[in-house]
């Protein structure tokens, strides 16, 4: 079970497949201030990334997997900051 | 050969078959868009995968075919019989190349020339027909390119998402591109439903090598979380990579319509970004710089720029512009117009806001060598692919591709297990009789039953694995019938029934040649020319029917036509002329029996040897082939109404039932399906008929032969009565009766005198090979449970 909600932080771990997108969305919806911890995440399915992009939540711990860290994380951060800057 | 190549070959073969079937359907009903799409898709997929291998000739030919089909789809070309002929022979050539690729690992030496010729011919064919609707297009190739455009405007305009990529990524990509590395921009808008097709767009993107920048954002404004549908993909993904365009194209080959892949000019990357306000440190900066530039003091220019940069707020717009100038200066041959444009942007500070100040790219673009927009780049790229192109994941199925040799080996092993298991009853008997332990014997028998059950189940399973649908053989016939009927100028429709009927792979494959021959025969001799059919009051279009069905443990295939039928009198005359049968014997035959003579060796009713069927291979060869596989063949015909050949074959060859007989001290096997009955006949009931012998069995005279004589065995000591009919009184003891096995061979009843009968058994029949292969008296050998070898007789050859 790669999506684990803990109080105000949701942990994404290992390989998050497309099924996890819905679960993550439900959790984020229930926790409007929830943060995302993705240190142990090895792969995020595009659907999960899309949820994160739209939800714009602070990232508690960045992923360590190279592709995620190098390319996906900046996109998530850009979405987070871009929104807060323009609004 | 790598497994990838192997897969390419087998997959392409299937796709070629599919394309052929679709083309044939298309010829029947030219408006059939489904078949057109099917043919296009098959050809397109072959082309796509062929790019992974070094087979340029194949790719070229297939590409031409794809372009032609694409033009047809777009309504720019028409398919007529000749064009379809051309395409079909092109497919044949590709199939031949695949064979060569499989055996030798490369295409034949003349492939390049031939591929070129085919491609030219195909393009010419479609160029010719393409010019019909549009007389303004004189050359055959341009319309094809127009038909598969990478939208030209888009390649020229740098993708809009570049403006959102972090500046440092752009700068470093710019540096590498100016140093001569390729630069490719991919704009990928995944299909909204792509998650349901098992796709993971970012995973695909992560496989692009040498990523220089990645942009991921929602293409539309993201909906509030409560309305958000997590399974609808609304992303736009932009990737900058230093991989060549072909590398990216190969990755996106299954979804070419969702990704725009262009070679990006480095200038497209120039997007300075920064806070406005900071002016250049001194007004003479620009004039001084140009002085140095004109004096070719490039070091001085660089120094000036870096000095200015050190004095500037690094977040400022001006600094951003200078950073770009710095990057351009690092390149081998910095261009004045690029630097000029950037300098102007810095001085004028014109774009007061942060986003999108694009003053630069327009100018330097024109100064660049004309490399950037590559619409018709190498391979043409699959930009013309249809939206319906199936994604890779849709092909995933529960079937497994396995080398047939492995399955055969498994089958052999199971066969050996069956035989090995048969030794347990022998062991049990020995335990009981030789060692006197009944208890152990009983346990052995119990275990034997368990193993027997499992072995039977295994046998059933492996049999199913080795089964193939008859459709495998039938699928070649639409093409065959089409080609031959075109050649003969006859109008023939082919009806196929029961293609799902399954039989052993070997049987199905063995049927191919006989069926081909019979279908050829029907088309050539059976079906009348249209005029003759009209005169006879029949519909002009004749029908040839191929039907397969299962009957018990046999598969029956019928090849029938509604042609002129076989002339019984003609068969009689022919048989007489060729000495197949004596006149009085012929007269005694029923008409349907006369018809069976067409299978006799050396018989042919055709008046003239034709190009098609009269190749010296007669129906007798068909019969021999069918019988070699344990099958039977018969023919029925009504003059004027048609002919029907019926072939019946066993479903499987894996296990044969044989009856064991004893002769001399040896055991022989006789195929169970030839055995009619076994009788013990008192010796005095054997009556000599001339120099032969016969018995009377239920009021029927049955000729008998003594098997040991035919086989040339010495009369065994225990059965001295073997030889003539001298009568075996004396030491024969109780042997005052003979064991006669009544068999049916070639439809005739015959009695075989043997020494004794044994039980029937299941064996795995191995054909004789090596120097024994010429012994036609035996159809093979089998290993018995006790390790003895059983020779199985081939009665059809013996008698």
Across the range B212-233, mean pLDDT stands at 82
Contact B218, B236 (CB under 8 A): yes
Q: Which pTM value belongs to this model?
A: 0.44
Coil, helix or strand for B657? strand
Contact B532, B488 (CB under 8 A): no
Q: Which residue has the tokens 């190749």?
A: B615
Q: Which H or E run contains B498?
A: none
Q: Is the pLDDT of residue B726 over 60?
A: no
Residue B27 in tokens: 């010829």
DSSP class of residue B134 equals -
**φ, ψ for residue B259 (rounded to 5)?**
-130, 135
Confidence of residue B350 (pLDDT cuts 50, 70, 90): low
Question: How close, in Å, is residue A43 to chain B by CA atoms?
Answer: 8
Contact B12, B94 (CB under 8 A): yes
Pick from B631, B624, B598, B601: which is nearest to B521 by CA? Answer: B598
What count of Cα atoms within 13 Å lies in the side-chain half-sphere of residue B431?
15
List of chain B residues whose C-beta atoms are within 8 Å of the C-beta of residue A45: 200, 202-203
What's the rounded Cα separation, in Å, for the pair B756 and B772? 26
What's the rounded Cα separation, in Å, for the pair B341 and B325? 9
List of chain B residues whose C-beta atoms are within 8 Å of the C-beta of residue A50: 218, 230, 233-235
Report the pLDDT value the prediction gives residue B141, as an integer from 0 to 100.
38
Across the range B342-347, mean pLDDT stands at 78
A-interface mutation test, from B193, B230, B273, most A Cβ less than 10 A away: B230
Q: Which of B222, B223, B231 sits opposite A47 (nearest CB)?
A: B231
Beta bridge partners of B662: B667, B756
What's the rounded Cα separation, in Å, for the pair B71 and B128? 12
Report the pLDDT value the prediction gives residue B178, as an integer from 0 to 100.
83
Greater model confidence, B339 or B362:
B339
Q: CATH homologous superfamily of domain B656-798?
A: CheA-289, Domain 4 (2.40.50.180)
Q: Which of B190, B200, B218 sits opposite A45 (nearest CB)?
A: B200
Confidence of residue B716 (pLDDT cuts 50, 70, 90): low
Across the range B155-159, mean pLDDT stands at 60
What's the rounded Cα separation, in Å, for the pair B318 and B346? 5
Report the pLDDT value the prediction gives residue B118, as an integer from 0 to 100.
86
What's the rounded Cα separation, in Å, for the pair B112 and B120? 12
Across the range B765-793, mean pLDDT stands at 78
Greater model confidence, B683 or B726:
B683
Report the pLDDT value the prediction gives residue B373, as an integer from 0 to 100.
40
Strand order across the B692-697 sheet: B675-682, B737-745, B748-754, B700-706, B692-697, B687-689
Q: Which residue has the tokens 């086989």?
A: B711
Give every CB contact of residue B11 below 8 A, 6+ residues apart in sequence.
B45, B49
Q: Is the pLDDT of residue A74 over 90?
A: no
Across the range B401-422, mean pLDDT stands at 81
CATH of domain B469-650: 3.30.565.10
Q: Is the pLDDT of residue B547 over 90?
A: yes
CB within 8 Å: B217 and A72:
no
A-interface mutation test, from B194, B197, B202, most A Cβ less than 10 A away: B202
Give every CB contact of residue B449 below 8 A, 6+ residues apart in sequence.
none
Question: How close, in Å, is residue B392 to chain A by CA atoms?
Answer: 17
Domain that holds residue A75: 3-86
Question: β-strand B492-497 against B542-551: which pairing, if any?
Answer: parallel
What's the rounded Cα separation, in Å, for the pair B555 and B214? 61
Alpha-carbon separation of residue B634 from B107, B319, B593, B772 (angstroms): 44, 94, 10, 31
Pick from B728, B625, B713: which is nearest to B668 by CA? Answer: B713
What do you get for the CA distance between the two ends of chain B, in Å? 49
What's the rounded Cα separation, in Å, for the pair B634 and B598? 10
Look at B237-241, B512-516, B627-631, B634-638 and tell me which has the smallest mean pLDDT.
Answer: B627-631
What's the rounded Cα separation, in Å, for the pair B308 and B543? 89
CB within 8 Å: A28 and B233:
no
Alpha-carbon separation of residue B248 from B184, B208, B256 (angstroms): 8, 6, 10
CB-based burial label for B666 (10 Å; 0-12, 13-18, 19+): middle
Alpha-carbon separation of residue B237 from A65, B187, B202, B234 (angstroms): 20, 6, 8, 10
Torsion-angle region of B223 (φ positive above 0: left; ψ -120 to 50: alpha; else: beta): beta
For A20, which residue in chain B has the nearest alpha carbon? Answer: B230
Across the range A7-28, mean pLDDT stands at 86
DSSP class of residue B265 equals P
What's the rounded Cα separation, in Å, for the pair B48 and B12? 11
Coil, helix or strand for B358? coil
Please state, rounded to an integer, the average pLDDT across all residues of chain B. Answer: 78
Report the pLDDT value the prediction gives residue A6, as an integer from 0 to 100.
76
What's the rounded Cα separation, in Å, for the pair B49 and B52? 6
Please state, rounded to an integer, the average pLDDT across all residues of chain A. Answer: 82
Confidence of residue B359 (pLDDT cuts 50, 70, 90): very low
CATH topology of domain B3-147: 1.20.120
Count of Cβ atoms closer than 10 Å to residue B194 Cβ: 23
What's the rounded Cα separation, in Å, for the pair B130 and B433? 89
Question: How close, in Å, is residue B233 to chain A by CA atoms?
Answer: 7
Count of Cβ atoms closer than 10 Å to residue B175 Cβ: 17
List of chain A residues whose C-beta atoms are within 8 Å of the C-beta of residue B190: 46
CB within 8 Å: B202 and A49:
yes
**Sequence spans of domains, chain B:** 3-147, 152-269, 285-360, 404-466, 469-650, 656-798
Across the range B453-470, mean pLDDT stands at 85
What's the rounded Cα separation, in Å, for the pair B575 and B493? 32
What's the rounded Cα separation, in Å, for the pair B663 and B756? 7
Output the CA angle B254-B260-B264, nearest 5 degrees.
Answer: 130
pLDDT digit string, tens, across residues A21-42? 888 888 888 888 888 888 888 8
Angle, helix B423-433 to helix B438-465, in steps of 10 degrees? 180
Report the pLDDT value the prediction gives residue A82, as an integer from 0 to 100.
67
Pick from B67, B39, B10, B154: which is nearest to B382 by CA? Answer: B67
Report for B294-303, B425-434, B576-585: range of highest mean pLDDT: B425-434
Report the pLDDT value the prediction gives residue B450, as an integer from 0 to 100.
92
Confidence of residue B398 (pLDDT cuts 50, 70, 90): low
Q: Express as a percent the part of chain B with pLDDT over 90.
A: 4
**φ, ψ for residue B148 (rounded to 5)?**
-125, 70
What's the rounded Cα separation, in Å, for the pair B20 and B17? 5
CB within 8 Å: B203 and A22:
no
Across the range A48-57, mean pLDDT stands at 88
Q: Which of A45, A55, A75 sits opposite B216 (nearest CB)?
A: A75
Pick from B592, B537, B589, B583: which is nearest to B562 by CA? Answer: B537
Cβ within 8 Å of B, A 3-42: 18, 21-22, 24-25, 28-29
For A76, which residue in chain B has the nearest alpha carbon? Answer: B216
Pick from B564, B577, B631, B586: which is nearest to B604 by CA? Answer: B577
**φ, ψ for residue B212 (rounded to 5)?**
-105, -30
Q: Which residues of B257-278 are buried (b: 16+ CB within 10 A; e: fewer)?
A: bbbbbbbbbbbbbbbbbbeeeb
Q: Is the pLDDT of residue B132 over 70?
A: no
What's the rounded Cα separation, in Å, for the pair A17 and B58? 39
Long-range contacts of B472-476 (CB under 8 A, 24+ apart): B472/B508, B472/B509, B473/B508, B473/B509, B473/B511, B473/B512, B473/B515, B474/B499, B474/B546, B474/B548, B475/B17, B475/B21, B475/B499, B476/B512, B476/B516
Report the pLDDT value the prediction gives residue B30, as an integer from 0 to 100.
80
Report the pLDDT value the prediction gives residue B390, as an integer from 0 to 100.
42
Q: ipTM value, please give it.
A: 0.90
What's the rounded Cα separation, in Å, for the pair B585 and B603? 17
Report the pLDDT value the prediction gives residue B1, as an integer from 0 to 100.
66
Across the range B309-335, mean pLDDT stands at 80
Beta bridge partners of B744: B749
Q: Is the pLDDT of residue B493 over 80?
A: yes
Domains of chain A: total: 1
What's the rounded Cα separation, in Å, for the pair B205 and B190? 11
Chain centroid to CA B382: 23
Look at A8-17, B169-178, B252-261, B678-687 and tell me which has the smallest mean pLDDT.
Answer: B252-261
**φ, ψ for residue B530 (rounded to 5)?**
-50, -40
What's the rounded Cα separation, in Å, for the pair B349 and B275? 10
DSSP class of residue B222 equals P
Partner B contacted by A74 (CB < 8 A): yes
Contact B529, B489 (CB under 8 A): yes
Report the pLDDT value the prediction gives residue B544, as an integer from 0 to 100.
92
Report the pLDDT value the prediction gives residue B139, as an integer from 0 to 100.
39
């Amino acid at each position: 079970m790669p999506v684990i909600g803990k109080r105000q932080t949701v942990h994404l771990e290992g390989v998050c497949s497309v099924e996890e997108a819905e679960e993550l969305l439900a959790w984020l919806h229930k926790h409007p201030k929830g943060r995302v911890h993705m240190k142990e995440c090895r792969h995020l399915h595009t659907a999960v990334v899309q949820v994160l992009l739209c939800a714009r939540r602070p990232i508690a711990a960045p992923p360590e997997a190279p592709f995620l860290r190098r390319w996906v994380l900046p996109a998530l951060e850009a979405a987070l900051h871009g929104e807060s800057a323009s609004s | 050969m790598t497994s990838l190549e192997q897969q390419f070959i087998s997959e392409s073969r299937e796709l070629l078959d599919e394309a052929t079937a679709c083309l044939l359907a298309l010829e029947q009903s030219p408006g059939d868009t489904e078949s057109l799409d099917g043919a296009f898709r098959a050809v397109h997929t072959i082309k796509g995968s062929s790019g992974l291998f070094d087979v340029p000739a194949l790719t070229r030919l297939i590409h031409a075919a794809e372009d032609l089909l694409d033009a047809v789809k777009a309504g720019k070309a028409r398919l007529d019989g000749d064009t379809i002929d051309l395409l079909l022979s092109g497919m044949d050539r590709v199939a031949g190349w695949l064979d060569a690729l499989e055996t030798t690992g490369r295409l034949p030496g003349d492939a390049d020339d031939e591929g070129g010729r085919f491609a030219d011919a195909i393009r010419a064919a479609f160029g010719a027909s393409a010019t019909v609707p549009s007389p303004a297009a004189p050359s055959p190739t341009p319309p094809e390119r127009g038909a598969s455009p990478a939208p030209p405007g888009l390649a020229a305009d740098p993708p809009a998402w570049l403006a959102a990529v972090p500046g440092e990524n752009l700068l470093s990509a710019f540096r590498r591109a100016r140093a001569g590395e390729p630069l490719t921009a991919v704009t990928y808008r995944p299909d909204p439903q792509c998650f349901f097709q098992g796709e993971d767009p970012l995973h695909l993107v992560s496989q692009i090598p040498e990523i220089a920048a990645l942009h991921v954002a929602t293409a539309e404004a993201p909906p509030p979380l409560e309305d958000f549908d997590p399974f609808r993909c609304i992303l736009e993904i932009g990737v900058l990579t230093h991989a060549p365009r072909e590398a990216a194209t190969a990755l996106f080959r299954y979804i070419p319509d969702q990704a725009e892949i262009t070679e990006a000019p480095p200038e497209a990357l120039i997007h300075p970004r920064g806070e406005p306000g900071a002016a250049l440190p001194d007004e003479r900066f620009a004039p001084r710089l140009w002085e140095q530039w004109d004096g070719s003091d490039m070091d001085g220019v660089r120094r000036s720029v870096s000095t200015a940069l050190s004095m500037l707020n690094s977040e400022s717009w001006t600094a951003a512009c200078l950073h770009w100038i710095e990057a351009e200066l690092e390149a081998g041959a910095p261009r004045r117009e690029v630097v000029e444009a950037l300098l102007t942007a810095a001085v004028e500070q014109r774009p007061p806001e942060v986003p999108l100040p694009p003053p630069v790219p327009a100018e330097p673009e024109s100064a660049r060598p004309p490399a950037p927009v590559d619409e018709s780049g190498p391979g043409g790229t699959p930009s013309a692919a249809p939206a319906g192109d199936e994604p890779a994941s849709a092909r995933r199925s529960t079937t497994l591709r396995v080398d047939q040799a492995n399955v055969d080996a498994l089958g052999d092993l199971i066969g050996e297990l069956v035989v090995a298991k048969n030794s347990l009853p022998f062991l049990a008997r020995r335990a009981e009789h030789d060692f006197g332990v009944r208890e152990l014997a009983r346990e052995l028998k119990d275990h034997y039953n368990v193993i027997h059950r499992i072995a039977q189940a295994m046998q059933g399973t492996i049999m199913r694995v080795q089964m193939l649908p008859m459709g495998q053989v039938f699928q070649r016939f639409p093409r065959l019938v089409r080609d031959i009927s075109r050649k003969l100028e006859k109008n023939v429709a082919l009806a196929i029934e029961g293609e799902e009927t399954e039989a052993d792979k070997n049987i199905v494959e063995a049927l191919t040649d006989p069926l081909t021959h019979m279908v050829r025969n029907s088309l050539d001799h059976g079906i009348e020319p249209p005029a003759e059919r009209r005169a006879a009051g029949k519909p002009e279009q004749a029908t040839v029917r191929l039907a397969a069905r299962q009957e018990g443990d046999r598969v029956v295939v019928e090849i029938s036509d509604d042609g002129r039928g076989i002339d019984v009198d003609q068969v009689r005359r022919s048989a007489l002329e060729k000495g197949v049968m004596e006149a009085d014997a012929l007269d005694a035959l029923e008409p349907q029996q006369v018809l069976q003579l067409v299978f006799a060796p050396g018989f042919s009713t055709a008046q003239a040897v034709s190009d098609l069927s009269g190749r010296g291979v007669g129906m007798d060869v068909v019969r021999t082939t069918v019988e070699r596989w344990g099958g039977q063949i018969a023919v029925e015909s009504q003059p004027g109404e048609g002919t029907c050949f019926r072939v019946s074959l066993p479903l499987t060859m894996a296990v044969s039932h044989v009856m064991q007989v004893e002769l001399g001290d040896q055991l022989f096997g006789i195929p169970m399906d030839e055995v009619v009955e076994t009788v013990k006949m008192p010796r005095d009931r054997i009556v000599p008929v001339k120099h032969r012998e016969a018995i009377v069995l239920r009021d029927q005279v049955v000729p008998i032969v003594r098997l040991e004589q035919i086989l040339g065995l010495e009369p065994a000591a225990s059965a001295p009565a073997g030889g003539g009919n001298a009568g075996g009184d004396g030491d024969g003891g109780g042997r005052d009766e003979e064991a006669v096995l009544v068999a049916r061979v070639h439809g005739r009843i015959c009695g075989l005198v043997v020494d004794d009968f044994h039980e029937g058994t299941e064996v795995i029949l191995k054909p004789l090979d090596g120097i024994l292969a010429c012994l036609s008296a035996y159809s093979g050998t089998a290993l018995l449970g006790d390790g003895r070898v059983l020779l199985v007789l081939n009665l059809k050859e013996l008698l």
